[in-house]
Homo-oligomer: A and B are copies of this chain.
Amino acid sequence: MSQQDPKRIEKKYREVLDGSDVTVARLIRDLEDEKAEAVEVLKRLHPHTGRAHVVGITGNPGAGKSTVVDALIAQYRKQEKTVGVVAIDPTSPFSGGAILGDRIRMQKHAVDPGVFIRSMATRGHLGGLCRAAVDAVAVLDAMGRDVILVETVGVGQGEVDVITSAHTIVVVVVPGLGDEIQAIKSGILEIADILAINKADRSGVERTEADLNLMLDLSGKDDRPRISIVKTVATKSKGIDELADAIKEHSSLLRKTNEGFRRTLRRAEVRLVELLKERMLKRASAELKEFGGLEAFAKRIAEKETDPYSAVEGIIERLTGQPDKGKI
């Protein structure tokens, strides 16, 4: 365990509240690695969270999410709002690094102190991406950003958890090619508060809009407000003001109903569960060091000396001092 210095913790805490980009960047990186001191800083920051409006932006690869995020940043800056961005970059399980091509475009905002962008890459299967992403949102919230954009590709479980913990969820689709059908199939339509039909200068946009409207009619639920549809051409910043308006409108709606607190609660639950899984796994891993760690157990399973269930039952019994009875 690394040395903790109360004075340093206090200093970092102050610097985050004062909006220091450098401290925030380091803190988020240290939280990715779950460094003990960073955790102490985050604990102290917790009471300062809850002010930012968190907007999740998702959609299939190629829909133009990053361009939409980029255009939204410019829009919010025009309105003199400060912006934080947490972009979850898919990555190779081999190289372990994020592919940040898209982010280069965003670098025009890099010199603007009102914009803070952080890319996070998928990590090993000991996980923690989801937890690290929601932690980063909390830090940007505490540093006083007005709007936090969370961008993620795909419909994986962890990413769905991150996105559904946002206040407002924007799903980006493109016209034609059955993309609207794919959106439904991948279940992202149902989590949307706002649908942005991007690349709306392409042919087929009316058809896509009509299809989406029909689907919304069919799936209409009385207990949820109607999903708004906005057409954008993000590369030309077209329709971005309408998108920002739709986000603002949804934000007001949240304040008027109980849904706002429900989403805050959901984010708290995601953070709690993800952190709990990560910590317990670390604890188990440490406990098993003398036996060669989790890897040694995996080898015993692969070689059929034991099976996964018996191995896990043994590990949990060791960890808690009580037999693990499986389904409790």
Contact = CB atoms under 8 A, between A and B. Distances in A.
Given A46-B307, A94-B191, A316-B283, A186 B153 contact: yes
Interface residues of A, number: 99
Contacts of A276: 280-281, 284, 294, 312, 315-316
Nearest to A271: B308
A158 B161 contact: no
- Chain copies in the assembly? 2
Interface in A114-171: 122-123, 125-127, 129-130, 153-161, 164
Interface string A309-320: 111110110011
A320 B283 contact: yes
A50 interface: yes
A265 B59 CA distance: 34
Interface of A: 1-2, 33-36, 39, 42-43, 46-47, 49-50, 60-62, 90-95, 99, 101-102, 122-123, 125-127, 129-130, 153-161, 164, 177-179, 182, 184-187, 189-191, 261, 264-265, 267-273, 275-277, 279-284, 286, 294-295, 297-299, 301-302, 304, 306-313, 315-316, 319-321, 324-328
27 contacts: A1-B327, A2-B327, A34-B327, A36-B326, A50-B304, A90-B185, A92-B187, A93-B160, A93-B190, A95-B187, A102-B185, A123-B157, A125-B269, A127-B277, A130-B157, A153-B186, A156-B156, A157-B157, A264-B302, A265-B299, A268-B308, A272-B311, A273-B281, A277-B280, A279-B313, A279-B326, A282-B328
